Amino acid sequence: MKSSFHSGSDSWPLIAVILSVILVIGGAFALHYTKGKAITIQDISSASKISGLNFTHQEKQMMLSNLEENLASYQKMRQIHLENSVSPALIFNPLPADFDFKKLQADQRFIYDEPVNVEVPETEEALAFYPVTDLAWLIKNRRISSEYLTRIYLDRLKKYGPKLHCVVTLTEELALKQARQADEELASGIYRGPLHGIPYGLKDLLAVKGYPTTWGSPIYKNQSLEEEATVYKKLTQAGAVLVAKLSMGELAWGDVWFGGLTRNPWDPNQGSSGSSAGSASATAAGLVGFAIGTETWGSIVSPSTRCGVSGLRPTFGRVSRYGAMALSWSMDKVGPMARSVEDLALIFQAIIGPDGKDCTVFDLPFSYDGQSDLKKVRVGYYKKSFDEARRHKDKYLAVLDTLSSMGIDLVEIELPEIDPEMISFILNVEAAAAFDELTRTNQDELMVRQGRDAWPNIFRQARFVPAVEYIQANRLRTLLIEQLASKLKEIDVYLDTPWGPSLLLTNLTGQPTVVVPCGFDDRGHPLGITFISNLFEEGQALRLAKAYQQVTGFHLKHPDLSLLDQVKDSPQPEEEDD
């Protein structure tokens, strides 16, 4: 059978044009389908399975055009660059419905035990481990100068910082300038308070103009921010001297950063824990007078426990986070780390309060009386954590015995029945949003830590958490807030082990926590205990923790830094104590 198609050579150009047009149109259609209309019924089925949902075929079909419109909106949104500092319009509020502001506003005492006399020690090594209270007395009474003390800490940072991997940037020029100014002011009769002339370190997620703010990641290694963190400004106003920006776990997780693993001065073959890794390590090693850390879920409590220092994670909304890297807008908190509880109170007083830039900060007074009657403090403890501690149970129970011997009546308390672990993905979702561009541009592959339990994987999997579930989790969080407030109505302070359920619970609800050393394990590693108080009642937890410190004296012990010469090449983080 002969074909009716005319195959003369004069017709080939026309055929080629037609074929080309068909190919172009087909290619464009395919491209449009794969890029603009890539969503199929099967895609919805798979996504529904991930979310634990079930829809009929008709319901899926009905969704298609809406989902395509949503995707187009997402793509438009992604054309707008969002700085890490831009917070969402949704603001977390930790206050239960019946919160009593009048009680807080009526009590505005601040009383601490200022030393009557402090001797200058024979060695600079001993001076380096003095608490802020003693250093403040020496400077105020001009027994030592701020510049002298600053040079001691700068020398120690240079000597031990590289071995501990706890220093990112030494701010030597700035420190000496601030120290000299502190000395000149004091000579002129100007005294700014207990932090006047005291050298300290900042966790390297807080911005200081003229210096890198690396967030612990090679991605931001050369980042220099123009704004200055409010915490740094407040400490500068208080006369404190910045000597270093200290290491942190990359993007505020753990103790591993682009400079290596930050080490525990008590055992340099062990990590310092994190993410306020350098802040804890440097404070414990006597490289700074005190340090500033941050916590989202354990980042002050954990390294303070590991390194045997005192730490305060304040109420959410106490300290401005302006100029700090955002990880979780509804959970991030800034707090001090030092060698004694009373030091924490002095530092905390200097950094609290609104700045007009962080709209989550409350304008409420901080009341602290380091001499108040302990018998008026109503104390509870979460018995289950003490009974079920897998390790060091005897050390934790000894804390209860010590408090009882001090005449304190301990009451068993219960915590909310809702398991906070089920909504812990709130942090993952907010962190994934904070670093969304790293995921979409594959820069997450440049991060130091990779693997299942590292940020890159967490950021990716968080993209599959439904928005509805994120909102529902926060509604359950409201119930947790109300339930915990109800259970603490008759309690001022309660105790839990550092790794007990209160760690996540109170980071979600906003209650403050003080952590202090409570002994040492068989290998000489510090152990810690946490004192948890009601919202904005940091003073109560600090008062009880101070009394415990005075009786036990664990905070007065210092690590043997000669051990730094015996470190292994590749120390490995250990499992957290339970």
203 is catalytic: yes
Distance CA 480, CA 98 (A): 14
Active-site choice (299, 302, 340, 533) = 299
Structure tokens at 255: 């103790």
Active-site choice (146, 275, 310, 320) = 275
Active-site choice (203, 234, 245, 333) = 203
The answer to whether the beta carbons of residues 525 and 295 sit under 8 Å apart is no
Structure tokens at 332: 């991030």
The answer to whether the beta carbons of residues 336 and 292 sit under 8 Å apart is yes
In this predicted structure, what is the pLDDT of residue 13?
Answer: 38
Name which of 266, 245, 338 is nearest 300 in CA terms.
338
Q: Which CATH number fits domain 101-111+119-360+377-422+446-566: 3.40.50.150, 3.90.1300.10, 3.40.50.300, 3.40.50.800?
A: 3.90.1300.10
List Cα–Cα distances, 550 to 113, 337, 377, 447, 516, in angstroms.
12, 18, 17, 43, 11
486 is catalytic: no
Distance CA 545, CA 291 (A): 19
CB neighbour list of residue 504: distance below 8 Å, 6 or more residues apart: 297, 298, 420, 421, 424
DSSP labels, 438-475? HHHTTGGGGSS--STTSHHHHHHHHTTS-HHHHHHHHH
DSSP labels, 145-196? -HHHHHHHHHHHHHHHHHHHT-EEEE-HHHHHHHHHHHHHHHHTT----TTT
In this predicted structure, what is the pLDDT of residue 19?
Answer: 34
DSSP labels, 528-576? EEEEEESTT-HHHHHHHHHHHHHHH-GGG----GGGGGG--SS--PPPP
Residue pLDDT tens, the chain, 578 long:
433 333 333 433 333 333 333 333 333 333 333 444 579 999 999 999 999 999 999 999 999 999 999 999 999 999 999 999 999 999 999 999 999 998 888 778 999 999 999 999 999 999 999 999 999 999 999 999 999 999 999 999 999 999 999 999 999 999 999 999 999 999 999 999 999 999 999 999 999 999 999 999 999 999 999 999 999 999 999 999 999 999 999 999 999 999 999 999 999 999 999 999 999 999 999 999 999 999 999 999 999 999 999 999 999 999 999 999 999 999 999 999 999 999 999 999 999 999 999 999 999 999 999 999 999 999 999 999 999 999 999 999 999 999 999 999 999 999 999 999 999 999 999 999 999 999 999 999 999 999 999 999 999 999 999 999 999 999 999 999 999 999 999 999 999 999 999 999 999 999 999 999 999 999 999 999 999 999 999 999 999 999 999 999 999 999 999 999 887 655 444 444 43
The answer to whether the beta carbons of residues 245 and 208 sit under 8 Å apart is yes
Distance CA 445, CA 460 (A): 12
Structure tokens at 384: 């289950």
The answer to whether the beta carbons of residues 7 and 15 sit under 8 Å apart is no
DSSP-derived pairing of the beta strands 310-313 and 333-338: antiparallel
299 is catalytic: yes
Question: Taking the mean position of all CA atoms in its chain, how far away is CA 188?
Answer: 39
Torsional sign, CA 209, 212, 213, 219: positive
Amino acid identity of residue 555, one-letter, is H
Name which of 375, 391, 403, 390 is nearest 495 in CA terms.
403
pTM: 0.91
Q: Where does residue 208 fall: left (phi above 0), alpha (psi -120 to 50 degrees), or beta otherwise?
A: beta
In this predicted structure, what is the pLDDT of residue 22?
Answer: 33
Distance CA 25, CA 568 (A): 64
> In the chain, where are the structural domains located?
15-77, 101-111+119-360+377-422+446-566
516 φ, ψ to 5°?
A: -140, 160
Distance CA 459, CA 431 (A): 7
Structure tokens at 401: 């015995």
In this predicted structure, what is the pLDDT of residue 37?
Answer: 55
Q: Where does residue 312 fall: left (phi above 0), alpha (psi -120 to 50 degrees), or beta otherwise?
A: beta
DSSP-derived pairing of the beta strands 310-313 and 513-520: antiparallel
In this predicted structure, what is the pLDDT of residue 27?
Answer: 38
Three-state DSSP class for residue 389: coil
